[in-house]
Chains A and B, each alone.
Chain A
Amino acid sequence: MSVLIIALNTFREAVRDKILYVLTLFALLLILISRAVGWVSYGGELKITTDMGLLAIWLFGAFVAIFIGTGMIYKEIDKRTLYTILSKPIDRWQFVVGKYAGLLLTIYVNLALLSLILFGYLWLMGAPIGISILQAVALTFCEMMVVTAIAIFFSSASTPVLSAIFTTTLFAMGQLTKWMVDLGAIVRSSSPWVGKVMHGFYLLMPNLHNFNVRQEAVNAAGTAGALAIPASQMMNAMVYGIAYTAALLLAAILLFRRRNF
C-alpha cells in the first residue's frame, strides 16, 4: 500500500515536471516531421515514417527515464522531504520501489499516448500497422523498464549529473554490446583471456539490443499477421528485462539502505 501511495505521488510529481512536456513535444514533432522526411525520399516513405515514429517513442522514453529518473531520489534528499517520508513507518525498499513504479507509470502513460498518436498517424498515412509494430512497441516498454531501473540505481547512489552521465553511458553501451562479442571473437585468437573477459562483460551488461526489434517490425509490417520475432524470443527478452530490472532494484535498495542522510 505504501508503495502504491509513493508511486502515485511520484507520478503526480513527475507529470508536473516541465521537462516532460518539452520531451513529449519533441517526440510529437519528430513523429509529425517524419512525413516530411518521407516526402524527399523516392520510395519507402511509409517505412521512413514508421521508423522515425518508433525511434521517437524509444528516444522519448529513454530521455524521460534519464532526465527525470536520475534526479528523483537525490531531489528528495536535497529538499529534505525524504526525512519526512522515512520518519513514517515505511521501509527504505518501499520508498525505492515506489519511486521506480511512479516513474515507470509516468513513462508508460506517455509512451502509450505517443504510441496511440503514432498508430493514428500511420493509419492516416496508410502505412501498415501489423502485429509486428505492436511487438516493437511492447519491447520498447520492456526496455524502458530496464533503463528506468538503471536511472533509479544511479540516482540512489550519486548526484544527478553523475547519475545522468552513467545512465546515458550504460544506455548507449547497452545498445552496442554485440560489438563487444565481435571484438572478443577477433582478439580471442591472439589473447584468449581478453576474449573471455569481454564475453563476461557482455553477459553482465544490460543488453538493451535484445529489445530492439524495430527494423524487423517495420519490414514485417507489410505482411498481415507476420511477427517481428517469434513469440518465444519475445518472451525470452521480456523475462530477461524483468530479471535485470529486479537485480538493479535490489542493488538500488541495498545502496539506499546503507546511505546515511
Chain B
Amino acid sequence: MDERLAQIIEASQLHDVERHIEGVRRAAEMQAFNQWGFAAYCTLFVLGAFLLVAWSLWPKRRTLTLRGWRDEDDVGSGTGARGGVAGETASAWRLKRVAPGFVGGVLLAILCAMSQQLSIDRNRGFIEDQQRRMNADLRRAMDRARQEYLREHPPTGERWNPELEREVKAAEDAARDNIVQSHYLYIPKGNSLRYLSLGNSSIAADYLWITSLQYVTSPFQQGHKFDFLHRFYAEILELDPHWVDIYVNMGKVLSALDPDRYRTERFLDQCITRNPGDFHLPMEAGRLFVVPTVRRKLNQEYSLKASEYFEQASKRLNLPATDLAVLEDLIGRLKREAGMHGAAAEQLWKIVNDHDVPKNLRENSSREWLQAESLVRADLFQQLVNGYKARRGKLPQDLTMALMDFLGQPNARGPAWLKEGLSGAKPLDAYGLPLLYDATTGEVASHGVRALNSTRASRVIDSLIASVYSEPGREFPRNMAELTQHIHRAFPTVDRAPLPVVEALGEDLNAEKSPLGGPWNYDPATGKITLPPECNPRELFRNADMTLDGRVPAYFKGAAGGQ
C-alpha cells in the first residue's frame, strides 16, 4: 500500500487504538480479580457445604446429658420416658437433626451454583457472546471498508480532514449495517409459528409482539433497531392481520425509531389494506406527515399525503361523528398547505355552513377558509396575468387589464364572481383587501394572506428581539439588518433554525423584509414592530365573522364552495 495512504489510515485509527488499549487493560485487571475472587468464593461455599453435610452425616456423636456423656445409640436403649418408642424416637431425633443440615447444605450448594451462573453469564452468556462476536466482525468489516474507500478515493491533502472522515464514516456505516443484520438472533417466520402454536396464530402474534418489545429495549445494539423491527412487524401482520390497536402502536414506535418516514408509511399501508373498514390506521399514517419540516417543498408533499390519509379515515364507518368535523377541518388546512387551494376552500366552506358543527370549530374553519379562498383568487388572477403575457408578450399594467383581456376572449370561462361587478373596481381577496400585483414581475398575491403572515412573523421577530435583549449588556438591535446578522450567527444553516422562525422569515432567514413587501416598521428604542392597520385581527377576520352570522359579502357569490 502507498506509504502516505498507510500513514493516513494509521492516523485515523490511532484514536480507536488508544481507546482499545485502555479497554483491554481494564478487562485484564477485571479478569485477574475475577479469577482470584472466583477461586476464593468457590472455596468458601464448597467448604461450608461440606462441613454442614459432614456434621449431619457423622455416624456417632457423644451428647452430654445429666448422667454424663452418652453415645447417640444409647438414646435408643430404652432409658427414660421415651423407652417405649425408643427406636422411632432415635431415628426421628436423628432426622430432626439431620434435616436442617441437609437443607442447609442443599441451599448453600444451590446458592453457589446460582452465583456462578451469574458470573458465567457475564463472560459467556448468550447476549455477551453474541455482542463480542458481532463487535469483532464489525471491527473487521469497518476496517476493510475504510481501507477500500481510501484506496478508491485517495485523499489529496497530507492531513486527515473532517470531510474525508465523514465520507469514510458513511462507508463504514454501510458495512456495519450488513453485519448487524446477519447477527441478530433468529426471528421465526410467520408460518412456522402458526404451526408451532398449533394454529393459534393469535397467541403467536402476541408472542412476537412481546419479543419485539424486548428487542427494542434490550441493550444489544441499542440505537439501531428499526431494521429488524420491520421484520417483526411484518410477521405479526401475517399472523394476526386485524390487530388494529397494535398496528397503531407499531406506527408510533417506527415513527420514533426509523428515520425513513416512507418505510413506516409502507408498513401502515399494508395494515390499512388488511383493515379497510377501520379509521385508526389511516389516522396514524396521516399523523406521520402532519409534523412539518423546515423544507417548504417537502412540507407540501407531506401535507398532501397527510390530507389523503385523513380523507381515507373520514370515510371509514367507525369514525365517531364528533371527530368527523375536526378531521374535515384538518383536511382543509392540510390541503391549503399542500397548495390545493380550491379543494381546501370547498372543504372548509362546507364546515362553515354546517350548523351542526360546534361554533368554535366553525369560527376556526371560517378563518382558514378566508385564507384558502384568497389564495384561490390570487391563483386565478395569476393565471389571467400569465395568459395576458402569453397572448400579448408583456405583463399587464394592473389586474383589471388582465381581467378585461380575459373576458374579451371568445370562450372565456371562469367563476361567476369574476364577471360580476368587478369592472372598474380592484379585484379583492376574501379578506376584502385588494389583491397585490407587481407589474414588474407579474406576481399576484393576496393582501390579506400577507397581512396574516406579517402578523405571525412579527410575533416571532418580537421573541427573537427579546432573546437578543435578554443577553447581558446588549441593547435592542439598531435595525433589522443587525437582527438578521444575529439570526444567521445563531442558526448558520436553515436546518438548525426552529420551524416557526423558518416559516416567519423564509428559508433565507432574512428579517429585513416583511411579507407585505416593504421593510418592517421597527422602532429601535422600544424594540417593537408596528404593523399596518390591515393586520389588525378584528379587521382582518371581519368577513369570517360575517359569514358565521349569515351575512355573506356580495363578492363571495360564486366563490369556491360559496353560494
Question: Measuring CB to CB, which residues of chain A are less than 8 angstroms from any residue of chain B?
Answer: 37, 40-44, 47-48, 51-52, 55, 58, 172, 175-176, 178-179, 208-209, 212, 214-215, 218-219
Contacts and interface: CB of A to CB of B under 8 A. Distances in A.
B198 A172 contact: yes
Interface string B309-320: 000000000000
B243 A219 contact: yes
Contacts of A41: 206, 209-210, 213
Interface residues of B, number: 19
Nearest to A37: B210
B18 interface: no
A39 to B, nearest CB: 10
B33 interface: no
Given A47-B245, A175-B198, 20 more contacts: A41-B213, A42-B253, A43-B248, A43-B249, A47-B243, A47-B246, A51-B202, A51-B203, A52-B203, A172-B198, A178-B199, A179-B195, A212-B199, A214-B200, A214-B202, A215-B200, A215-B201, A215-B202, A218-B202, A219-B242
A12 B522 CA distance: 96
Contact of A40 (B195, B198, B213, B243): B213
Contacts of B512: none
B245 A42 contact: no
A208 B243 CA distance: 24
B156 to A, nearest CB: 51
B199 A44 contact: no
A37 B240 CA distance: 18
A176 B249 contact: no
Contacts of B209: 41, 44
A4 B544 CA distance: 82
A48 B206 contact: yes
22 contacts: A40-B210, A40-B213, A41-B206, A41-B209, A42-B249, A42-B253, A43-B248, A44-B243, A44-B246, A47-B243, A47-B245, A51-B206, A55-B200, A58-B200, A175-B198, A175-B199, A176-B195, A214-B200, A214-B202, A215-B200, A215-B202, A219-B243
Contacts of A42: 213, 249, 253
Scoring A40, A43, A51, A58 by chain B CB atoms within 10 A of each residue's CB, the highest score goes to: A43
B199 A209 contact: yes
Contacts of B246: 43-44, 47
A19 to B, nearest CB: 21
Interface string B364-396: 000000000000000000000000000000000
A34 to B, nearest CB: 10
Contact of B198 (A44, A47, A176): A176
Scoring B195, B206, B246 by chain A CB atoms within 10 A of each residue's CB, the highest score goes to: B206
